[in-house]
Each structure stands twice: as structure tokens, then as C-alpha cells.
């Protein structure tokens, strides 16, 4: 992995008050620190080879397969099951009970006995029985029209439409990817200290990358068996652009609130990376050429980013116009002058937040030699130590410094607490309700961090400064959770989403985009303010390209021949 230049200076980090607003987090773009990128970079550095020891798939594409890969001295295997699914049973909802394909990421190489056990359980997903040899549980459904289109084209001896590949972007879409001890599979702690698995969600991202390769093999297998004499394999460029689809809703949003230290470490790594880059005073000729090339790629990527959602479409249209103007300004001569990285970021200051965050991602993309090591520090374990000896007076100062954004909210206004978060019993998914129009506020999930902080501050005002937090909490135990969060704010300044998550104007889609960008997703396709479609691993290297030790150049992919 790359090591930073110790001689490089570091610019000041952007303050949490700027970075941690939902409007900015909801304009996030993937970077080279994103989890898909750091995982594949590790596989590439190790020149990993993916083998397929089992392929028991019939002519219709049903059966089982196993893919194995070595990472960090350990072998991991994706066990895949493809089964018939009627249209009546086809749904992407979490509560579905049947899927086109189901998967397990297995620790090691499965034996015949393991495969028999998994064949009886993996297709059941949550209803199955699993062991600590299973690291990830996953399922995916076909994009039926896209899958059939590719089959028919390859069987007839020609390639699928690049425009259709661009418009859909995947052969299958996951409906859930479970890790960290869910449903009896292995806890993350069992393997988190292994090389290559220490990064956030690396086990899940490895499973999805292997699933993507399986979908490529499956569509070619079905086409080949349909017409072996005329079959042609899928063009590598088109294959590379076919990622794995995913529809993500409110179920992902609470994660950022419930894992504040982890969120801090993600944001801190990115902001530290930016500070390192802005500390550079010049740009090498190689990087000048690279920036110029990437600016052109961004232009083409933006032109291929088309969505139906009016809010996001308006933002994309503004972004295209802004980028076009800056692309004409940023010539090789302009980049060759002093402090080019700072000037690039300053160009964005007067433009949209989407433009600003896109420019941040671009300047990071060019400087892997300086920042890639930061990907190794983005995990977190535990909640930190709670210092109950802290005094009430000290806690007041902490709240005034780190929760000032919450203390000024007027919760007497109905719209400031109109929404409430809860878990639907029927759908088993997080939901948002209207406190004044719907029942259920009595089972509210505590994502109201701003209101909790304000209530906590008001209670502190009734107690002398020299009283310890331990004594305070014996009389006010309802504040224990927010007291712990507040106390850790000094050590973890990027831990809090600095907005009111129960306000009428809260946009949960911003929380989803923030997390998905750290996964490595781009071209967000919102379907409302509460769920979005994405494609994972679009443009990413294929199995054979990883084993060649290359393939890290897939930031903001573009498909040739598509509009």
C-alpha cells in the first residue's frame, strides 16, 4: 500500500460545522478511499487470482457455483445458488422469501459437506441456519429484461446495445447484503484483524465483487448453451460497465447515527487526505496530464448521469454547466502555476455544493501516492471510554462547543419535530412517520440527537457546575446515551450529523448518499427523498484484470458508445 510523503505539509482540515451538514454529505462522491476501491487495490497489489472450483449450472442457468480468492494470506469463497423464481414471487423488498440467486461468503474453501449444508440453508436466507464459517449472507434478483437482452445478443453472435448497458448498468441487483453476525453468521470481530479485511465493509464488498463476476459468467453460460455455434463472449468494456445494482432505502440511514465513531473515522480520513493534498505547492507534469484527462472523464460521466428525480436532475444540470466552464479554464498552463491544488478547490467555493465535493474527489483521485495509506485507519471498535468523573460544568462547555448547532433549534415549533423514526413491524424496516398525523410516536427510535442534546443541556442547567456526571445521571438516567455521545465529541469531531433529523425538511436521501459514496457508488438515482438506486462496481476491473496487478483507474466510469 502507498505510504505518505513525510516531508509534505498539511493544510488545515475543513471544520465539522462545514463538513457535517446533510446538504453537503448528500453531495458526496466516491473517492479512492471508498471501500470498493481500497479492497480492489489490495487485491491488485497482491495479484490475487480468482478460481472457480465448482460450476454446476444447468442450461437454464440454475444450480450452484463456487469462486475462491486469496486475500492477505487467507482464502475466501463465494458460494452461489441460482434457482427458478416466478414473476409473482419477484420483489426487491427485504421481506421477500425467494430470490433468483442467493450467496454466502465462506471462510476458506467449502467441502462437499459444507456445500450440502449451504444448499439447504442459503436459499432461505434469514430463515436458514448458519455457522461462523459464513462471513456474509447475500441475495440478488435479475434485471429480467437486461439479462434476457444480453443472452439473446450473445447467442446471436453480437454485443448488447451500449446504450441499454448504460441505461440499466447491471444484470442483477442485490436486495440485501448481511454481515457482522446477522442470522448466526460470523461476527466481524472474528476476522477484522486479518490483512485485507480490516477496512469497513471489506467482507461485504468482496462478496459483491465476486457476485458481479458470477453474473457475468452466468449470462455467458446461458447464451452459450442456447446457441453454441453462434455464441460470442461479452465485450470486456461492456462487461466492465455491468456492475451490481442495488436499491437502498431508510434502512441504511440510522447506521450513520448509531455508529458515530465509525462515521468520524470515515470523514476524518477523507478530510486528512484533502489537507495533505492542499499542502502541496506544485503539480508534477505527470499529474498535470492526469488531472486534464480526469476533467474530460468527469464531463463525459456527468453527461451519462441521467435521473428522473427532479431535485437530483436539477443538481446534475447545474453541475454540468459549472463543470463545462471550469474545464475550459483549467488548462495545462493553469495547472503548472504555484499552488494548483488549492486553486482547484478554491475554484469550487463559489459554485454548488455538488461541484465542491466533486472537485474534492478529483484532487484526491490524482494523489494516491500521498493518501492511500489513510484507507487503513477507517475502522472503529467500541464506543470509547465514558468518563463519569467529568463535571457538569465541563460537560456544559462540551455542549456549547460541539453541539451549538443543536442548542439553537426551536423545538417549540411543530415542524422542528414533525418526523419520528420507527421500525415497521409489518415490513421489518426503518420508517419515518408524521408525529401529528400518524400513530407510532410512542415507539420512536432515538435518532433525535439534536433534541436529546438540547434536553440534556436544559437538565444540566438545574445542577451546580461541580457535580459529577456520574451523580447527575443517577437522578437523570434518561440522558446517559447523549452524555456519552457528547463527551466523545472532542476526540471525534466528525461524529455527528449536524442537522435536526426529525425536522419536517429533513432529507434522509442525503444520509444514504453519504454512506453509499463511502462504499464507492456513483450516479445516484433517487426515487424519492427516502430511497435511491445505485450500481456498485461499475467500471471496476474484472477477475483477470485484478490478477494482472492493475485496474485501479475506474473512478467515475464512462461507457464508450453510450449517450
Query: Which residues, in sequence order, are CB contacts of 286 under 8 Å at separation 6+?
Result: none
* Closest C-alpha among 525, 557, 545, 559 to residue 30: 557
Angle, alpha carbons 239-244-249 (nearest 5°): 155
Q: How many beta carbons lie within 10 A of that of residue 423, not counting itself?
A: 15
Q: Is the pLDDT of residue 9 over 90?
A: no
Average pLDDT over every residue of 375-385: 84
Angle, alpha carbons 42-47-49 (nearest 5°): 110
Average pLDDT over every residue of 514-518: 97
Q: Is the pLDDT of residue 38 over 70?
A: yes
Average pLDDT over every residue of 314-320: 97
Q: Is the pLDDT of residue 245 over 50?
A: yes
Instruction: Say if CB 274 and CB 16 are below 8 A apart.
Output: no
Average pLDDT over every residue of 122-132: 92
φ and ψ of 177, to 5 deg:
-135, 110
Instruction: Say if CB 524 and CB 13 are below 8 A apart.
Output: no
What pLDDT digit, counting tens, does each position of 521-545 carry? 999 999 999 999 999 999 999 999 9
Q: Provide the 3-class DSSP secondary structure of residue 52.
A: strand
Tell me the CA distances in angstroms from 137 to 98, 242, 253, 430, 460, one per residue in order. 14, 22, 20, 20, 45
What pLDDT digit, counting tens, does each position of 251-260 carry? 889 999 999 9
Average pLDDT over every residue of 363-392: 92
Q: Which DSSP helix (H) or strand (E) runs through 225?
A: helix 202-226
Q: Which alpha helices (DSSP H) does 30-79 contain, by range?
A: 35-45
Query: Which residues, in sequence order, are CB contacts of 216 under 8 Å at separation 6+?
Result: 171, 234, 239, 242, 542
* Closest C-alpha among 342, 384, 381 to residue 363: 342
- Per residue, what are the HEC states of 343-401? HHHHHHCCCCHHHHHHHHHHHHHCCHHHHHHHHHHCCCCCCCCCCCCCEHHHHHHHHHH
* Closest C-alpha among 464, 466, 555, 476 to residue 517: 555
Question: How far is 92 from 142, CA to CA, in rounded Å?
Answer: 10
**Locate cell 442495488: which residue?**
246
Q: Provide the 3-class DSSP secondary structure of residue 454.
A: helix
pLDDT score recorded for residue 201 = 96
The pTM for the full model equals 0.95
Which pLDDT band holds residue 548 (cuts at 50, 70, 90)? Answer: confident
| Mean pLDDT over the full length of the chain | 94
Average pLDDT over every residue of 162-189: 93
> Do the strands 134-142 and 50-57 form a parallel or antiparallel pair, or are they unpaired?
unpaired
Which pLDDT band holds residue 93 (cuts at 50, 70, 90)? Answer: low
DSSP state of 93: S
DSSP state of 12: P
What pLDDT digit, counting tens, does each position of 455-495 carry? 999 999 999 999 999 999 999 999 999 999 999 998 999 99
pLDDT score recorded for residue 425 = 76
- Per residue, what are the HEC states of 470-512? HHHHHHCHHHHHHHHHHHCCCCCCCCCCCCCCCCCCCCHHHHH
pLDDT score recorded for residue 427 = 63
**Locate cell 447523549: which residue?**
482
What pLDDT digit, counting tens, does each position of 206-242 carry? 999 999 999 999 999 999 999 999 999 999 999 999 9
Report the C-alpha dihedral over residues 87, 88, 92, 94, rounded to 10 degrees. Answer: -150
Grid cell, residue 77, equals: 469463497
Amino acid at each position: 500500500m502507498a505510504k505518505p510523503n513525510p516531508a509534505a505539509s498539511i493544510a488545515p482540515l475543513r471544520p465539522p460545522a462545514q463538513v457535517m451538514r446533510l446538504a453537503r454529505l448528500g453531495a458526496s462522491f466516491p473517492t479512492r478511499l471508498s471501500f470498493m476501491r481500497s479492497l480492489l487495490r489490495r487485491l491488485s497489489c497482491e495479484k490475487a487470482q480468482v478460481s472457480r472450483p465448482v460450476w454446476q449450472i444447468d442450461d437454464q442457468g440454475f444450480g450452484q457455483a463456487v469462486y475462491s480468492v486469496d486475500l492477505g494470506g487467507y482464502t475466501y469463497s463465494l458460494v452461489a445458488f441460482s434457482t427458478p423464481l416466478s414473476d409473482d414471487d419477484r420483489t426487491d423488498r427485504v421481506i421477500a422469501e425467494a430470490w433468483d440467486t442467493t450467496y454466502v461468503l465462506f471462510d476458506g474453501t467449502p467441502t462437499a459437506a459444507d456445500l450440502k449444508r449451504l444448499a439447504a440453508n442459503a436459499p432461505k436466507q434469514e430463515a436458514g441456519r448458519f455457522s461462523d464459517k459464513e462471513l456474509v449472507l447475500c441475495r440478488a434478483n435479475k434485471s429480467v429484461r437486461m439479462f434476457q437482452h444480453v443472452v439473446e445478443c450473445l447467442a446471436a453472435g453480437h454485443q448488447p446495445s451500449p446504450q441499454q448497458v448504460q441505461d440499466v448498468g447491471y444484470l442483477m441487483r442485490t436486495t440485501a447484503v448481511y454481515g457482522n453476525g446477522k442470522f448466526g453468521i460470523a461476527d466481524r470481530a472474528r476476522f477484522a484483524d486479518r490483512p485485507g479485511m480490516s477496512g469497513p465493509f471489506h467482507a461485504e464488498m468482496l462478496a459483491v465483487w465476486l457476485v458481479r463476476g458470477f453474473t457475468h459468467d452466468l449470462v455467458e453460460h446461458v447464451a452459450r448453451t442456447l446457441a453454441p455455434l453462434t455464441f460470442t463472449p461479452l465485450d470486456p468494456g461492456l462487461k466492465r460497465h455491468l456492475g451490481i445494482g442495488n436499491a437502498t432505502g431508510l434502512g441504511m440511514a440510522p447506521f450513520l447515527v448509531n455508529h458515530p465513531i465509525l462515521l468520524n473515522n470515515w470523514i476524518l480520513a477523507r478530510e486528512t487526505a484533502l489537507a495533505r493534498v492542499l499542502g502541496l505547492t506544485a503539480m508534477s507534469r505527470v499529474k498535470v496530464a492526469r488531472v486534464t484527462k480526469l476533467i474530460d472523464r468527469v464531463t463525459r460521466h456527468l453527461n451519462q448521469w441521467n435521473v428522473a428525480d427532479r431535485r437530483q436532475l436539477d443538481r446534475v444540470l447545474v453541475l454540468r454547466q459549472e463543470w463545462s466552464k471550469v474545464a475550459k479554464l483549467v488548462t495545462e498552463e493553469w495547472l503548472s502555476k504555484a499552488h494548483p491544488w488549492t486553486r482547484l478547490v478554491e475554484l469550487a467555493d463559489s459554485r454548488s455544493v455538488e461541484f465542491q465535493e466533486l472537485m474534492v474527489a478529483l484532487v484526491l483521485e490524482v494523489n494516491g501516492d500521498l493518501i492511500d495509506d489513510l484507507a487503513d485507519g477507517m475502522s472503529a471498535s467500541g464506543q470509547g471510554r465514558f468518563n463519569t468523573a467529568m463535571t457538569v460544568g465541563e460537560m456544559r462547555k462540551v455542549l456549547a462547543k460541539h453541539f451549538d448547532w443543536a442548542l439553537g433549534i426551536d423545538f417549540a415549533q411543530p415542524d422542528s419535530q414533525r418526523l419520528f423514526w420507527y421500525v415497521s413491524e409489518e415490513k421489518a424496516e426503518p420508517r419515518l412517520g408524521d408525529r401529528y398525523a400518524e400513530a407510532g410516536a410512542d415507539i420512536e427510535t432515538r435518532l433525535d440527537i439534536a433534541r436529546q442534546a438540547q434536553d440534556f443541556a436544559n437538565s444540566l442547567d438545574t445542577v451546580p457546575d461541580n457535580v459529577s456526571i456520574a451523580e447527575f445521571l443517577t437522578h437523570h438516567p434518561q440522558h446517559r446515551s447523549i452524555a456519552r455521545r457528547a463527551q466523545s465529541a472532542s476526540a471525534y469531531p466528525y461524529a455527528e450529523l449536524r442537522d435536526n433529523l426529525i425536522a419536517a425538511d429533513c432529507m434522509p436521501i442525503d444520509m444514504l448518499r453519504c454512506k453509499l459514496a463511502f462504499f464507492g457508488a456513483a450516479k445516484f438515482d433517487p426515487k424519492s427523498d427516502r430511497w435511491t438506486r445505485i450500481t456498485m462496481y461499475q467500471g471496476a476491473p474484472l477477475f483477470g484484470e485484478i490478477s494482472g496487478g492493475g485496474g485501479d483507474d475506474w473512478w467515475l466510469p464512462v461507457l464508450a458508445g453510450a449517450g
